[in-house]
Structure 1
Amino acid sequence: MSRHDEHHAHISLSDVHQSVDTTTRKPGTWRKILAFFGPAYMVSVGYMDPGNWATDLAGGSQFGYSLLWVLLMSNLMALLLQSLCARLGIVRNRDLAQANRETYPKPVNFMLWVLAEISIAATDLAEVLGMAIGLQLLTGLPLIYGVLFTVLDTFLLMWLQRWGIRKLEAFVIGLIFIIGAAFVVQLFVAAPDLKEVAGGFVPGIPGQAALYIAIGIIGATVMPHNLYLHSALVQTRKIERTEQGIKKALKFNFMDSAIALNLAFLVNAGILILAATVFHKAGRTDVVEIQQAYELLPAALGSKLAASLFAIALIAAGQSSTITGTIAGQIVMEGYLHLRINPLLRRLITRLIAIIPAVIVILVYGEKNVDSLLIFSQVLLSLQLGFAIIPLIYFVSNKQTMGQFAIKPFIQFLAWLITAILIFLNASMVINQLSDYFTESNSWLAKTVILIIATGLSTLLLYIILYPFLFAGKRGGLKQ
C-alpha cells in the first residue's frame, strides 16, 4: 500500500471527507448552523424504509394503536445512540468500523465485518423489495423486474456524489418530504380519533405475537448500519479542532439528529396510525402485507389518490434508503478491511449483495411471501444490534481517547440500559422461536447447525463485552 493509499485508509468516506467547510461562516449565523445539518437526515431515511412499513402495517392492523409506545421508545433509543455515533466521529475522527479495527483482534474484526455485511444485506433486502413493490403497485411492473431495476440506484448515487455531499443530502431530504407529505394527506382523509391515538402511548404488549412485531419495530428503527453511517457522515464537515469548535459541532449535530429522527418517528407513527384507523377498527386484522394495504385503501378512504400516494411514498422510501445503505456498505468495507476499490465497482458489489438474495427469495418463495420476509429482515437486524452498540458505548465512554468529551456516567447508564433491553428482548424472541422450531422439526442436522451458530454468536457477544476489562491497553483502540 502506498503512503497516499495508507493515508486515505484512515479517512472515512475520503472522497467527501471534510468537504463542507463550517469554519468559514460567521459564528452564530444561521448559515453556520445549517452547514452542520444533513448527516442525520441521511441516517433518518433508514428509520422510515420499507422494512418499517411492513412492521408498522402489521402492528397497526393487528393491535391497533397499542404499539405506538414502542415506536416512541425506539425513537428515543435511536436519538441517544445516533448522538453517540456523531460524538465518536467528531471527536476521534473515526467511524465505528475503523474504531473496531483499531481495537479488536483480527478474527473478531472479521466476524464483526461479516455481521455488519449481513445487517446491510438484510437492510438492502427490505429496501430493494419495498421499492420493487412500490413500482409494481404503481405501474404493474413484475416484482422480479422491479428488483433488477434497483441496480440503477448505483449509477444515480455516483451521479449525485459528483455534485458533492450537500447535493446528495438535498436529494434525500426531498424524498423525505415526499414521504411525509403523502402520509399527511392520507391521515387527513382517515381522520383518526386523537384520544384513542394517545392511548397507544401507554406501555403494554397484548401477547406473544405482538412481542414479535414489537421487536421487529425496534429492529426496523435502531439499525446497525446507521451506527456505522452516522459516525462517518459527520466527518464530511470541516470543523475547528478546538475545544469550543468540537463543542459546537456536537451541539449542532445533536440538534440535527433530534429534528431528523423526530420527523422519521412521525412518518412511522403515521403508517401505524393509518393501519390502525383504516384496517384494525374495521376488523381487518389480517392486513400485514403492503400489497393488501394498497388494494384496500381506496375502498377504506374513498379515494384512489390515497393508494397512489401510498405507492409513491413507498418508492421514495426505498430509493432514499438504498442510497444510504450503499454508502454504509462502503464505510464497512473500507473501515474493517482497508479495502479501496473503484467506487462504481464497490457500489455495484454492495447493491448485488442485496439484489441476489431478493431475486432468490422471489424465485423460490414467490411474491406472496415478500412481506413476511420484510418483517423477518427487521428482526434479523435487531439481533445484530448488540455487536454494534456495545463497542460504540465503550469507545465514547473511554476518557483516554475521548478526553473531556467522554460521555457522563448517567448517559453511560442509559446507553447500557438500552443495550440490556435490546439484548433481553432479542434473547426472549430467539428462545421462543427456536423452541417452536425444535418442537416441530425432526432435522437433527438443522438443529445442530442452529445450536452451533447460536453458541458462536453468544460467545462473540460475551467476548466483546469482556474484552475492554480483560485486554484494555494491549491494542490502540481503547487506550492510546
Structure 2
Amino acid sequence: MSEHPPLTTEPSLDSQHKPRSVRVWAKKAWIHITKHVGIGIICAVAYFDPGNWGVDLQAGSEFGYKLLFVVLLAGLFAVILQGLACKLGVVTGLDLAAHCRLLFYDRPKHPKLFRWLVLYPLYALSEVAIISTDLAELLGSAIALNLLFPRLPLWAGVLLTAFDVLLILAFADPLHGRPVRSFELIIAVLVLIVLVCMCILVSRIHVQWEDAFQGFLPSKALVQHGGLYTSVGILGATIMPHSLYLGSALATQDRVSVKPVVLPTPSRIRDTGHRHNGLVGKISALLRPTNADNSDEFASHADRPNNSLPFIKAHLYHGIIDLVVNLLGIAVVINSLILILASAVFYKPGTETTTADIYDAHSALLEFVGRGAAVIFALALLSAGQSASLVATVAGQIVSEGFLRWRVSPFMRRLLTRLLSLIPSVIVAVTIGRKGINTMLVASQVVLSIVLPFIIFPLVWLTSSRTVMRVRSPVTAAEPEPPKEDDTEEQQTVATHEYLDFSNGWVIAGIGYSIWLVVLVANGYVIITLILGVGS
C-alpha cells in the first residue's frame, strides 16, 4: 500500500503572494481616491470650457468626424504639459508663476533688464490669458442662461454668472495650505453634470459610430481648405495657459499628512490681536491679505531647497495618474461628444457645409430631438461655463501672487479678475448681441493660442533643469555635519552633494519642446491667415 504525502493546510507561496498583492493595490487605490482625486478634475475643466464648445461645434459641422484625431492629439498634448506642471509643483513646492519670478526677478547680471523685458511682459501675457479665459466663461454661461430663459437679456446673464461665482469662491481659499475638498467637490459635481448631459444627448441622436471611430485616425481633412485652420483652433482652445499655472500650484499642497501644527509667526500674532467675532470677523478674514511664502528668501534656484523625497514619492505618481485619467477619460471624451453631436446633426456629405454655433446646435436639438434635449444641452453648457469660471478665477490669484507677490486678499483678486472680463462682456452683450458674443468667443481662443507658447517654454525648461529639479537624497536630507579634518576630499564632496535628479529625460524634454514648436508654428499660421483674410 503506497503512502500518500501528508496533507497540509499551509498556503503555497503563490496563494500567499496573490492576496497580499491584492490588498496592497486595494490600499493604494483607496488612498488615491480619498486623498489625491481632485487635481485632475480641476485641471480637466479648462479643456471643455465654452470656448471649446464653439470650436468643436464648428469642426463637427464643417468636417464631420474627421477632426476627432485633433481632439485626441490635443488631449495627449495636455496630458504631457499638465504632467510637467504637476511634477514642477510636487518636486519644488513652488508653482510655475513663482518659478518665473525666481528665475528672472533678481538675475546676477542686468536684473532690471530681465525684469522689464522678460518677467513683466510674461506676467502681462498671463493676465491677458486669464482675462480672455474668464471672458469666454462669462459669455458661454450667459448664452446658456439665455437658452434656458429666453426672456432673460444676455447682459443680465453675464452679471448673474459673474457674481454667483464670487459668492462660491468667498467661502474658502483653495490654493494655500491643504486642499479645500468642498471646492473640489463643487467642481466634480459640475463636471459630472456636463458628462452625463452629453452622454444623454448623444444617445438621443443617430451617430455613425464606425465613421466616428475612424475619425480618431489622421485623415486628409487636416490639410484641406479650412481644415488646418480649424485644427489649430482646436489646439488653441484645448490647451489653456491658466490650467498650467493652476496645476502646478495645486500640486504643491500636502494631501497626505495630517494637518500640521502652525507656530505663531509675528504676522499671525498680529492678526489674532485684531480678530473679531461674528459678521465683522468673517468680513475681516475675507479681506485679509495672504501671507508671503519663503521663496523671496532665495536669490536663485540653486540656493532654494526642494521638497523632501518622502513627500515627492507620496504625491508625484498619484498626481500624474489623476491627471491622465481625468484628461483622457473626461476632457477628451466631452470634447469628442460635442464634435460628434455637431457632426451627426449638421454635417451632410455632398452638400454645402454650414458653420454651426451654440445657438444653432440648441435650435437643431429643439427642432429635431425635442425640448428635453435642448434643455439638457443648455444645462451642460451652463455647468461647463460655471466650473471653468471657478477655475479661471482662482488661476488669476496664482498669477498675481506668483509674479508680483501681490499680497491682496484672494477675494479682492478674484473680484478684480471678474471686473476686467465683466466690463467687455456686458458691453458686447448690450451693443452687439448674439453675433458679437460668438465673435468674442472665437477671438478669446485666438488670444489664448497666441499666449500659450510663452507659457510652455519656461515650463519645459524649468522641468528639464537639474538645478531646479534636484532633491537631496535621504542620506543628506538633513543639514550635513561640518567635514572633519581627516576626511578625504572625495568624502567631503559626497557628504555635501548627494542629490536625486527629477528633471526631464531627453525623450520627455524633446516631446515638450516639440509641442512648443507645433503650437508656435500653428500660431504663426493663424496670424498669417487672419492678416490675409483667408482663415476659416
TM-score range, shorter chain: 0.7 to 0.9
- Could you list the per-position Cα deviations for residues 248-276 of structure 1 after superposition, in whole angstroms to 9, with x for gaps in the alignment? 42111111001110111000000000000
Larger-Rg structure: 2
SS of the equivalent of 1:354 reads helix
The one-letter amino acid of 2:122's match is L
Shift of 1:206: 4.9
TM-score scaled by length of structure 1: 0.82
The match for 1:411 among 508, 527, 536 is: 508
* Pairing 1:103–2:134 present: no
Aligned pair in 2 of structure 1 residues 164, 242: CA closer, same or farther (>3 Å)?
A: closer
Query: Aligned residue for 1:337?
Result: 404
Q: Is the 8 A contact 1:239 1:246 kept in 2?
A: no
CA distance in 2 between partners of 1:95 and 1:214 (Å): 30
SS of the equivalent of 2:252 reads helix
Q: Is the 8 A contact 1:216 1:376 kept in 2?
A: no
Query: Aligned residue for 2:342?
Result: 275
Query: Aligned residue for 2:159?
Result: 148
Q: Is the 8 A contact 1:151 1:348 kept in 2?
A: no
- Could you list the per-position Cα deviations for residues 188-216 of structure 1 after superposition, in whole angstroms to 9, with x for gaps in the alignment? 11131111102212224153422222111
CA distance in 2 between partners of 1:370 and 1:209 (Å): 22
* Pairing 1:192–2:207 present: yes
CA distance in 1 between partners of 2:431 and 2:203 (Å): 40
More helix by share: 1
Q: Within 5 A, what are the aligned runs for 1:294-309?
A: 294-301=362-369, 303-309=370-376
Shift of 1:234: 1.3
- Could you list the per-position Cα deviations for residues 21-42 of structure 1 after superposition, in whole angstroms to 9, with x for gaps in the alignment? xxxxx99444422211201211
SS of the equivalent of 1:159 reads coil
Q: Is the 8 A contact 1:57 1:272 kept in 2?
A: yes
The match for 1:137 among 129, 132, 147 is: 147
The one-letter amino acid of 1:285's match is T
Q: Is the 8 A contact 1:215 1:379 kept in 2?
A: no
CA distance in 1 between partners of 2:98 and 2:41 (Å): 23
CA distance in 2 between partners of 1:133 and 1:436 (Å): 28
CA distance in 2 between partners of 1:338 and 1:320 (Å): 27
Shift of 1:244: 4.6
Query: Aligned residue for 2:21?
Result: none
Aligned pair in 2 of structure 1 residues 341, 28: CA closer, same or farther (>3 Å)?
A: same
The match for 2:180 among 165, 169, 177 is: 165
The one-letter amino acid of 1:100's match is C
The one-letter amino acid of 1:330's match is Q
Shift of 1:70: 0.5
Query: Aligned residue for 1:36?
Result: 36
SS of the equivalent of 2:348 reads helix
Query: Aligned residue for 1:254?
Result: 320
- Could you list the per-position Cα deviations for residues 341-391 of structure 1 after superposition, in whole angstroms to 9, with x for gaps in the alignment? 122221110111111121222234332231232122112111111100000
CA distance in 2 between partners of 1:37 and 1:237 (Å): 13
Which structure 2 residue ranges, 5 or more long, are not aligned?
Answer: 1-24, 105-113, 258-306, 471-500
Q: Comparing 176-185 with 233-242, which one deviates more in the overlay? A: 233-242
Aligned pair in 2 of structure 1 residues 210, 361: CA closer, same or farther (>3 Å)?
A: farther
Q: Is the 8 A contact 2:64 2:344 kept in 1?
A: yes
Shift of 1:310: 0.2
* Pairing 1:181–2:278 present: no
SS of the equivalent of 1:237 reads coil
* Pairing 1:237–2:254 present: yes
Q: Is the 8 A contact 1:126 1:374 kept in 2?
A: yes
The one-letter amino acid of 2:511's match is L
Query: Aligned residue for 1:122?
Result: 132
Number of residue pairs matched? 412
* Pairing 1:421–2:518 present: yes
Shift of 1:54: 0.2
Q: Comparing 176-185 with 428-437, which one deviates more in the overlay? A: 428-437
Aligned pair in 2 of structure 1 residues 365, 385: CA closer, same or farther (>3 Å)?
A: same
Query: Aligned residue for 1:326?
Result: 393
Query: Aligned residue for 1:449?
Result: none
Shift of 1:284: 7.8
SS of the equivalent of 1:202 reads coil
The match for 1:390 among 442, 453, 457 is: 457
Q: Is the 8 A contact 1:217 1:378 kept in 2?
A: no
Query: Aligned residue for 1:202?
Result: 217
CA distance in 2 between partners of 1:28 and 1:242 (Å): 23
The one-letter amino acid of 1:43's match is C
Structure 1 vs Structure 2 CA RMSD:
2.1
* Pairing 1:59–2:59 present: yes
- Could you list the per-position Cα deviations for residues 397-454 of structure 1 after superposition, in whole angstroms to 9, with x for gaps in the alignment? 00112121101110011111111111111111112212339xxxxxxxxxxxxxxxxx
SS of the equivalent of 1:235 reads coil
